[in-house]
Structure 1
Amino acid sequence: MPQLNSLRKFLTFFIGTIVIVSTWAISASGQAQLTEGSKLALDGIGPIGVGMTVDEASRSAGVRLVNRGGGRDEYFCSYFDLQTGPKGISFMVTKGRIARVDNFSNKRITTIKGAKIGDTEEQIISLYPGQIQVTRHPYSSRPPYNGKYLTFVPKDAADKNYRIIFETSKNRVERFRSGKIPEVEAIEGCS
């Protein structure tokens, strides 16, 4: 009888361990997916962080990043898009590492604070009180660029080299990006 009790305890422990490890593996892989529910932060989006290589980002997000082409080398400057997954998101890669994340058109992707394409300038300013610098869009004298740059400047010293920049037109956010300085400030990306 003591052997039967020991066997029951062992089987209970063994099955419990399998359940816990399986649950952990499923939830970990669920977190790694880059989806439209992923949030844009100062230093990346969802599981993809500024500073990762393209291969690291692809593994982390569970989706392949593909070079847009155009003859640029990722060690100089190039853009990568997601092979599958949320559309409108691109990654600037310099010196072999992700330097910034651009949201060109995805209205479902938000920042951690909830800012998104279509928000008014006032909404952005209210989400980041005292931390938004407002400047004229560099091309504001040329149609259709009649807007502004709303730049989130973090207060935390650890984040001093990062920004989120919202580009607006007619008082509404048209696109936004985040990443490290100086890449995040480049008006035309890799151009």
Structure 2
Amino acid sequence: MQKLNSFRKFLTFFISAVVIVSVWATSASGQAQLTERSKLAINGIGPIRVGMTVDEASRSAKVRLLKAGIGGLSEELCSYVQPQGEPKGMSFMLTKGRIVRVDIRNKQVTTIRGAKIGDTEDRIFSLYPSQIKATPHPYVGRSPYNGKYLTFVPKDAADKNYRIIFETSKNRVTSFRSGQLPQVEYIEGCA
């Protein structure tokens, strides 16, 4: 009888260990990958967060990030990377080797609240009630910039240095970005 109880305890322990290891392995390999379904937050997108290095972001998102274009400032002050291959229409601004801003030009990508390219200005106001500051686009009067900047200003003190900015033209969102101040407010990226 005692051998049977010892065997049951061992079997229970063994099965529990297998279950724990299986759950851990599944959750470790099931980390989010950067895709068009990734949601833009005030401080990043999907598994990529403001403050990460390119290597950290690449590992976290399971996608290689490659240098994109040349800006007007030195690379140390400002540069861009973008995913190799998919998802398209997504880029990351870097300052001193760390991600500070996410730019979206992909019609499939949405914010956590569901805002996306093509939405009307009214929809943005409804998704972020009492938190949108509307200003004329800095280049108003110069085609195609006959729109606005709709800036989401967070109420939470912990997020006071972050913004989401929706650029509009003819009452529709044409692109959007999120990140930390002051970089998120740069009009022409690194230029």
In the superposition, the TM-score normalised over structure 2's length comes to 0.91
* Structure 2 segments unaligned to the other structure (5+ residues): none
The question of 1:178 aligning with 2:159 is answered no
Change in Cα spacing, 1:65 to 1:74, as seen in structure 2 (3 Å) is farther
User: In structure 2, what is the equivalent of residue 96 of structure 1?
Assistant: 97
Whole-angstrom CA distance in 2 between matches of 1:69 and 1:177 = 18
CA distance in 1, matches of 2:141, 2:25: 53
Structure 1 distance, partners of 2:16, 2:75, is 46
Q: Deviations over 1:114-163 (max 9, x none)?
A: 11111100000011111101111111211111111000011111111110
For the pair 1:36 / 2:36, whether they are aligned, the reply is yes
Distance 1:82 1:167, change over 3 A: same
Q: Deviations over 1:166-188 (max 9, x none)?
A: 00111110100000011000011
Matched residue type, 1:115:
A
Q: Deviations over 1:13-64 (max 9, x none)?
A: 2233223322233234323311222111110011110011111111111111
Q: Distance in 2 between matches of 1:75 and 1:17?
A: 48
2:161 paired with 1:161: yes
Which letter maps to 1:55?
Answer: D
Which whole-Å deviations, capped at 9, do the CAs of 1:56-96 have from their partners, x for residues lacking one? 11111111111114387642211100124321111000011
* Partner residue in 2 for 1:150: 150
Q: What letter matches 1:187 in structure 2?
A: I
Structure 2 counterpart of 1:23, one-letter code: V
Structure 1 counterpart of 2:188? 188
- Counterpart of 2:133 in structure 1 is 133
Task: Write the mapping of 1:16-27 to structure 2, written as runs, cut at 5 A.
Answer: 16-27=16-27
For the residues of structure 2 that align with 1:10 and 1:64, how far apart are their CA atoms?
45
Q: In angstroms, what is the RMSD of aligned CA positions? A: 1.9
Normalised by the length of structure 1, the TM-score is 0.91
Q: Secondary structure at the match of 1:32?
A: coil
What is residue 78 of structure 2 aligned with on the other side? 77
Q: What residue identity is the alignment partner of 2:84?
A: Q
Gaps of 5+ in 1: none
Q: Distance in 2 between matches of 1:150 and 1:164?
A: 8
